[in-house]
Structure 1
Amino acid sequence: MSVASRYPKFGQFNAAIGSRVPNSIEKYPEYQKARPNRELLKREQLDLLHILREKMHLDVTELVPEEKTPLCCFVEDLAVVFNGKALLTRGLKSGDPRELEIKSLKIALKDYGIEILFMEEYASAIPHNPMELNGGAAAGDEMENGVEKEPKRIVGGDVLFTGYEFFIGISYYTNVEGAMEFASKMTDLAVTVIKLPLETSNDPEIKSRRLKDYISVACEGLLVYADTPDGNYLLKQIINNSSYDYSTVKMRAEFLANCMYINGYLLYPDTGNTLCSDGDSDYKLLDQLISRIPVPASEFSRIKTALSRRVLIFDAPHTHGARRHFP
């Protein structure tokens, strides 16, 4: 893919939607072992929203936390927003009562002038191992008689936009059918599907990971990735399936590989411990290219939650310059 085809608004945002941390987050079953400090999580989330509002100058909407949903502060799960459109996702575990969150998010997105798109529940019959999504490659799942029909699933954490093309990770939450839905409704750019190496793991923490837990974009043409077996496996898929030559910077831990490129700045997770000191030495390799802004994330790192999951960042047709809360 040529440099000339780069999306002209890459990395430019004017709006964000986030949610405060609910009291119920400490009761989420998968966090019981880590026993996170609820008040520290709340403080770190408020710090992130403050940075977006005051330093990044984004118009920030804070959703009222939904106590029935312990994970309501992870709004990236709920939608993929691109070029004035939002695809509301259908990739969460069955039984998660997130309908109220999606209702509030939909109101907020419409308020910004974003067009709302809904996923159909099931895919039509598709050929075995489809190889193209808007010019990108795809890897199909096992099918019977050459046809598969299952609910479409996708979450925002599995959708990586580099400025030139999209990569979508096939994970516990995202499948090929969901990727095809995204490609058909959201973009004319190349969409390439890659697989996360989750098949052999029974660990809930491993299965809950998304593509952007391992790889993110630090600035135009530069990928940040986790220097782990899984991170290297995914990076190799990206390099092998892209016609654009990306530069790369490796991080020594998966949690540090997720950062956000916003309006010429790099927001990265500051864990406040030795892990951060190791990772910080890696991040310093970027200092000649981009200004870095640390985001407090010591408590979020204990529950292995990527920075980008905590907020939905996008370029809105219009903003209002006011803090808004949606019940």
Structure 2
Amino acid sequence: MSVASRYPKFGQFNAAIGSRVPNSIEKYPEYQKLRPNRELLKREQLDLLHILREKMHLDVTELVPEEKTPLCCFVEDLAIVFNGKALLTRGLKSGDPRELEIKSLKIALKDYGIDILFMDDSSALAMTPPLEMNGAAATEEMENGVGEKEAKRIVGGDVLFTGYEFFVGISYFTNVEGAMEFASKMTDLAVTIVKLPLDKSNDPEIKSRRLKDYISVACEGLIVYADTADGNFLMKQIINNSSYDYNTVRMRAEFLSNCIYINGYLLYPDTGNTLCADGESDYKLLDQLISRIPVPASEFSRVKTALSRRVLIFDAPHTHGARRHFP
């Protein structure tokens, strides 16, 4: 196995963009069934932004909540930021109201000196595949119904950077064409496609999953993943197709397999209940390698929303001090 070169700034960040939780989050159809505590969601989101600002010393921009889009606080969906560039994503159907959020996000990213890139509008029907997907050509039509004639689509939650290479998950939000667009515009590092295990039963919870719901990087060279059938399925693909030998830690609680490695610390979701007991036991395996900081997430765990989806963290060419709101 060849050994990949490490990206020199891996895990080093100085800026973040987030949004407060909108009042309209209760109107999201799947949340109406779960009936989460809106005020607790708001408090947990503010706790995350506070930790990033006060403990991680990041320059944090808070976008004004867009009430027309109940999921506006999940900004990771909207852009992939790497090495001074941001690819504004298209992970939802054309005309979706989340397009309203992209305008504010684009201005905020430019204000940090980030170069903005856009997804190509064309639907590529004939391509020379630069990627490999588990030994199959990347243009092979996917079993999840996303075929070659689909517009290019990708979301940030399906893009995992390990410090050595990228893995892009093919999901209901990301297709092969979107992964190829990312690879061609954003990086010269290796980009490998992995396929999420998608249930054809049309279960909305399964359809909402992204790659980073199952797998995260806890620190350099170390991956944590959900010890479930789906998590093991994805981890096997990564091991078989990786250009680097990673150490791994299995997380018995699937929700806790999403964490954020930032400036030498590990931010992880604190659910505040029995779910956290197994997580604490598993995370203790990392204590000799990295210092951990818990982020309140009891209510977000009820709606099964990964920690990383709630914020966009990146290394900005320049920052502005203690900014709080934008625009």
Mark yes or no: TM-score above 0.5.
yes
Which residues in structure 2 correspond to 1:138-149 (within 5 Å)? 139-142=138-141, 148-149=148-149
1:92 CA displacement: 1.6
Give, in whole Å, the separation in 2 of the partners of 1:20 and 1:111: 20
Match for 2:131: what amino acid?
A: E
RMSD: 1.8
1:308 CA displacement: 0.1
Deviations 1:200-244 (A, max 9, x none): 231101101000000000000000000000000000000000121
For 1:65, what is the secondary structure of its paired residue? coil
What's the counterpart of residue 269 of structure 2? 269
TM-score (norm. length: structure 1): 0.94
Gap runs ≥5 in structure 2: none
For 1:122, what is the secondary structure of its paired residue? coil
What's the counterpart of residue 89 of structure 1? 89
Give, in whole Å, the separation in 2 of the partners of 1:2 and 1:295: 36
Deviations 1:129-187 (A, max 9, x none): x3627xx98643428xxx93320000000000000000000000000000000000000
Give, in whole Å, the separation in 2 of the partners of 1:315 and 1:298: 29
Which residues in structure 2 correspond to 1:310-325 (within 5 Å)? 310-325=310-325
Q: Which runs of 4+ in 1 moved over 6 A?
A: none
Deviations 1:118-138 (A, max 9, x none): 00122333358x3627xx986
For 1:151, what is the secondary structure of its paired residue? coil
1:27 CA displacement: 1.1
Give, in whole Å, the separation in 2 of the partners of 1:185 and 1:318: 22
The 1:178/1:290 distance shift into structure 2, 3 A limit, reads same
What's the counterpart of residue 119 of structure 1? 119
Give, in whole Å, the separation in 1 of the partners of 2:238 and 2:136: 10
What's the counterpart of residue 253 of structure 2? 253
Q: Tell whether the 8 Å contact from 1:84 to 1:317 is kept in structure 2 after alignment.
A: yes
Q: Tell whether the 8 Å contact from 1:137 to 1:192 is kept in structure 2 after alignment.
A: no
Does 2:19 match 1:11? no
What's the counterpart of residue 132 of structure 1? 131
Q: Tell whether the 8 Å contact from 1:138 to 1:193 is kept in structure 2 after alignment.
A: no
TM-score (norm. length: structure 2): 0.94
What's the counterpart of residue 59 of structure 2? 59
Give, in whole Å, the separation in 1 of the partners of 2:137 and 2:321: 41
What's the counterpart of residue 150 of structure 1? 150
Deviations 1:31-73 (A, max 9, x none): 1121000000000000000000000000000000000000000
Q: Tell whether the 8 Å contact from 1:139 to 1:176 is kept in structure 2 after alignment.
A: yes
Count of aligned positions: 321
What's the counterpart of residue 110 of structure 1? 110
Give, in whole Å, the separation in 1 of the partners of 2:266 and 2:93: 31
The 1:283/1:174 distance shift into structure 2, 3 A limit, reads same
Give, in whole Å, the separation in 1 of the partners of 2:137 and 2:77: 22
Give, in whole Å, the separation in 2 of the partners of 1:316 and 1:62: 16
The 1:326/1:237 distance shift into structure 2, 3 A limit, reads same
Which residues in structure 2 correspond to 1:1-327 (within 5 Å)? 5-127=5-127, 130=129, 132=131, 139-142=138-141, 148-327=148-327
Match for 1:311: what amino acid?
A: V
Deviations 1:265-320 (A, max 9, x none): 00000000000011110001000000000000000000000000000000000001
Give, in whole Å, the separation in 2 of the partners of 1:29 and 1:4: 43
For 2:293, what is the secondary structure of its paired residue? strand
Q: Tell whether the 8 Å contact from 1:138 to 1:194 is kept in structure 2 after alignment.
A: no
The 1:102/1:308 distance shift into structure 2, 3 A limit, reads same
Gap runs ≥5 in structure 1: none
Match for 1:220: what amino acid?
A: E
Match for 1:140: what amino acid?
A: T
For 1:169, what is the secondary structure of its paired residue? strand
Q: Tell whether the 8 Å contact from 2:158 to 2:210 is kept in structure 1 after alignment.
A: yes
1:323 CA displacement: 1.4
